[in-house]
Chains A and B, each alone.
Chain A
Amino acid sequence: MVEYQLLRATSLVEALEILAEKDNVECLAGGTDLLVDLHKQDSKFDQIDYVLDISSLKELKGINLGDKKAVIGSLTTHADLIESEEIQQKLPFIAEAAKSIGSTQIRNRATIGGNLVNAAACADSFSPLIALEAEVVLASRNGERKLSVRDFVKAPYKTALKKDELLKEIVFELPQGKYYSSYQKIGRRKALSISRISLTLLGEVKVDKVFKIQVVSGAATPSPVPFAEVNSYLLNKKLADIDPVEAGRLAAEEMVEITGERWSTPYKRPALAKLVERAVDDFLKEAANSG
Chain B
Amino acid sequence: MAFKHVNKGVKRVDAYEKVTGKAKFGADLEFADQLYAKVLRTEYPHARIINIETAEAEKMPGVRGVFTAADIKNNLFGVIVEDQQVLAADRVVLAGDGVAMVAAESEAEAAAALEKIKVEYEELEGIYELDEARKKDSLKIHPEKDDNQVIHHPLRKGDVEKGFAQADIILEREYSTQLIEHSYLEPEAVVVVPEDENHLVSIYGSIQNPYATRAAVATVLRAELAEVRVIQNHIGGSFGGKDEVVSAMAARAAVMALATKRPVKMVNSREESFTESYKRHPYQLKYKVGATKEGKLTAMEIEAAADSGAYACQTPFVTWRSVVQATGPYELDHVKTDTYGYYTNNPYTGAMRGYGSPQIIFAQESLMDELAEELGMSPVELRKKNIYRQDSITASGQKLSGHTVSLEEVMDKAMQAIDYQAKREKYSLAQPDDKKRGIGLSISFRGCSLGAEAVDAAASLIQINKDGSVAVYSGLAENGQGLKTIFSQIAAEVLGITLNEIDYMEVDTTFTPDSGSTVASRATLIGGNSIKNAAEKLRDRILDFAAQKFELAKDKLKLEAGFLYDQASNRLALFSDLTAEMINNGILLSAYGWYKGPPISWDEEKGCGNPYFTYVYGCQIAEVEVDTGTGELTVLNMAAAHDVGRAINPKNVKGQIYGGVMMGLGYSIMEEVEVEAGQIKGKNFHDYMIPTIKDMPDIEAVIVENPDPDGPFGAKSIGEPTLELASAAIANAVAHASGKRIRSLPLNLERVLIGRALSKGGCK
Q: Are A190 and B695 in contact (CB under 8 A)?
A: yes
Across-interface contacts of A271 in B (CB, < 8 A): 629-631, 749, 753
Q: Are B691 and A275 in contact (CB under 8 A)?
A: no
Q: Are A191 and B759 in contact (CB under 8 A)?
A: no
Across-interface contacts of B759 in A (CB, < 8 A): 263-264
Q: Are A274 and B694 in contact (CB under 8 A)?
A: no
Tell me, yes or no, whether A28 is within 8 Å of chain B by CB: no
Q: Are A189 and B749 in contact (CB under 8 A)?
A: no
Q: Are A188 and B670 in contact (CB under 8 A)?
A: yes
Q: Are A274 and B670 in contact (CB under 8 A)?
A: no
Q: Are A192 and B692 in contact (CB under 8 A)?
A: yes
Complex CA gap A191/B764 in Å reads 15
Complex CA gap A274/B752 in Å reads 14
Q: Are A186 and B632 in contact (CB under 8 A)?
A: yes
Complex CA gap A275/B631 in Å reads 11
Shortest CB distance B644–A (Å):
30
Residues of chain B from 666 to 705 with CB closer than 8 A to chain A in the complex: 670, 686, 689, 691-695
Most buried by A among B686, B748, B750: B750
Shortest CB distance A98–B (Å):
16
Tell me, yes or no, whether B223 is within 8 Å of chain A by CB: no
Tell me, yes or no, whether B763 is within 8 Å of chain A by CB: yes
Across-interface contacts of B686 in A (CB, < 8 A): 36, 194
Size bin of chain A's contact surface: 20 to 34
Tell me, yes or no, whether A8 is within 8 Å of chain B by CB: no
Complex CA gap A186/B693 in Å reads 18
Tell me, yes or no, whether B259 is within 8 Å of chain A by CB: no
Tell me, yes or no, whether B23 is within 8 Å of chain A by CB: no
Using CB atoms, name the residue of chain B closest to A272: B630
Q: Are A267 and B689 in contact (CB under 8 A)?
A: no
Point out the residue from A1, A186, A194, A275 that lies within 8 Å of B749, measured CB to CB: A186
A-B contact count (CB 8 A): 59
Shortest CB distance B156–A (Å):
43
Point out the residue from A36, A189, A194, A274 that lies within 8 Å of B630, measured CB to CB: A274
Using CB atoms, name the residue of chain B closest to A271: B630
Tell me, yes or no, whether B754 is within 8 Å of chain A by CB: yes
Tell me, yes or no, whether A249 is within 8 Å of chain B by CB: no
Q: Are A189 and B631 in contact (CB under 8 A)?
A: no
Q: Are A188 and B630 in contact (CB under 8 A)?
A: no
Complex CA gap A186/B686 in Å reads 16
Complex CA gap A196/B758 in Å reads 13
Across-interface contacts of A192 in B (CB, < 8 A): 692
Complex CA gap A186/B750 in Å reads 12
Point out the residue from A36, A191, A266 that lies within 8 Å of B693, measured CB to CB: A191
Q: Mark each residue of chain A from 159 to 190: 1 if its CB lies under 8 Å from any CB of chain B, else 0.
A: 00000000000000000000000000010111
Q: Are A275 and B630 in contact (CB under 8 A)?
A: yes
Complex CA gap A196/B764 in Å reads 8
Q: Are A274 and B689 in contact (CB under 8 A)?
A: no
Q: Mark each residue of chain B from 541 to 585: 1 if its CB lies under 8 Å from any CB of chain A, else 0.
A: 000000000000000000000000000000000000000000000
Complex CA gap A194/B670 in Å reads 13
Residues of chain B from 605 to 643 with CB closer than 8 A to chain A in the complex: 629-632, 634
Q: Are A189 and B670 in contact (CB under 8 A)?
A: yes
Across-interface contacts of B634 in A (CB, < 8 A): 190
| Given A271-B629, A274-B434, A189 contacting B750 (CB threshold 8 A) | no
Across-interface contacts of A1 in B (CB, < 8 A): 108, 112
Tell me, yes or no, whether A260 is within 8 Å of chain B by CB: no
Q: Are B692 and A191 in contact (CB under 8 A)?
A: yes
Q: Mark each residue of chain B from 164 to 195: 1 if its CB lies under 8 Å from any CB of chain A, else 0.
A: 00000000000000000000000000000000
Across-interface contacts of B434 in A (CB, < 8 A): 274
Q: Are A191 and B694 in contact (CB under 8 A)?
A: yes
Across-interface contacts of A196 in B (CB, < 8 A): 749
Complex CA gap A69/B758 in Å reads 45
Q: Are A263 and B758 in contact (CB under 8 A)?
A: yes
Q: Are B629 and A189 in contact (CB under 8 A)?
A: no
Q: Mark each residue of chain A from 248 to 291: 1 if its CB lies under 8 Å from any CB of chain B, else 0.
A: 00000000000000011011001100110110000000000000
Tell me, yes or no, whether A103 is within 8 Å of chain B by CB: yes
Size bin of chain B's contact surface: 20 to 34
Complex CA gap A103/B692 in Å reads 10
Across-interface contacts of B692 in A (CB, < 8 A): 103, 189-192
Q: Are A267 and B763 in contact (CB under 8 A)?
A: no
Q: Are B629 and A274 in contact (CB under 8 A)?
A: yes
Q: Are B689 and A189 in contact (CB under 8 A)?
A: yes
Point out the residue from B630, B758, B763 that lies within 8 Å of A266, measured CB to CB: B758
Across-interface contacts of A275 in B (CB, < 8 A): 629-630
Complex CA gap A194/B434 in Å reads 23
Complex CA gap A264/B754 in Å reads 11
Using CB atoms, name the residue of chain B closest to A264: B758
Point out the residue from B629, B754, B763 that lies within 8 Å of A188, measured CB to CB: B763
Across-interface contacts of A266 in B (CB, < 8 A): 750, 754, 758
Shortest CB distance A273–B (Å):
9
Complex CA gap A267/B749 in Å reads 8
Across-interface contacts of A103 in B (CB, < 8 A): 692
Across-interface contacts of B108 in A (CB, < 8 A): 1
Complex CA gap A274/B692 in Å reads 26
Most buried by B among A103, A189, A275: A189
Across-interface contacts of B112 in A (CB, < 8 A): 1
Residues of chain B from 726 to 762 with CB closer than 8 A to chain A in the complex: 748-750, 753-754, 758-759
Q: Are B632 and A267 in contact (CB under 8 A)?
A: no
Most buried by A among B630, B686, B693, B749: B630
Using CB atoms, name the residue of chain B closest to A186: B630
Complex CA gap A270/B753 in Å reads 8
Complex CA gap A36/B693 in Å reads 22
Point out the residue from A189, A267, A274, A278 that lies within 8 Å of B754, measured CB to CB: A267
| Given A196-B749, A270-B753, A278-B629, A189 contacting B758 (CB threshold 8 A) | no
Shortest CB distance A261–B (Å):
12
Q: Are B693 and A188 in contact (CB under 8 A)?
A: no
Point out the residue from B693, B694, B695, B753 that lies within 8 Å of A267, measured CB to CB: B753
Using CB atoms, name the residue of chain A closest to B693: A191
Across-interface contacts of A277 in B (CB, < 8 A): 629
Complex CA gap A132/B693 in Å reads 33
Complex CA gap A186/B753 in Å reads 12
Complex CA gap A275/B693 in Å reads 25
Shortest CB distance B746–A (Å):
10
Across-interface contacts of A194 in B (CB, < 8 A): 686, 764
Across-interface contacts of B631 in A (CB, < 8 A): 186, 267, 271
Shortest CB distance B274–A (Å):
14
Shortest CB distance B191–A (Å):
24
Q: Mark each residue of chain B from 107 to 144: 1 if its CB lies under 8 Å from any CB of chain A, else 0.
A: 01000100000000000000000000000000000000
Across-interface contacts of A190 in B (CB, < 8 A): 634, 692, 694-695
Across-interface contacts of B693 in A (CB, < 8 A): 191
Shortest CB distance B339–A (Å):
32
Across-interface contacts of A36 in B (CB, < 8 A): 686
Complex CA gap A1/B691 in Å reads 33
Q: Mark each residue of chain A from 117 to 155: 1 if its CB lies under 8 Å from any CB of chain B, else 0.
A: 000000000000000000000000000000000000000
Shortest CB distance B234–A (Å):
25
Complex CA gap A189/B635 in Å reads 11
Using CB atoms, name the residue of chain A closest to B760: A263
Q: Are B689 and A188 in contact (CB under 8 A)?
A: yes
Q: Give me the interface of A with B, judged by CB distance under 8 Å.
A: 1, 36, 103, 186, 188-192, 194, 196, 263-264, 266-267, 270-271, 274-275, 277-278
The 9 lowest CB-CB distance pairs between A and B, nearest first, are: A274-B629, A190-B694, A191-B694, A191-B692, A267-B750, A190-B695, A271-B630, A186-B630, A189-B695
Known: A267-B749, A267-B758. 10 other contacts (CB 8 A): A186-B630, A186-B749, A188-B749, A189-B670, A264-B758, A266-B750, A267-B753, A270-B754, A271-B749, A271-B753
> Can you list 25 residue pairs at the A/B interface with Cβ under 8 Å?
A1-B108, A36-B686, A103-B692, A186-B631, A188-B763, A189-B670, A189-B691, A189-B695, A190-B634, A190-B692, A190-B695, A191-B693, A191-B694, A191-B695, A194-B764, A196-B749, A264-B759, A266-B754, A267-B631, A270-B629, A271-B629, A271-B631, A271-B753, A275-B629, A278-B629
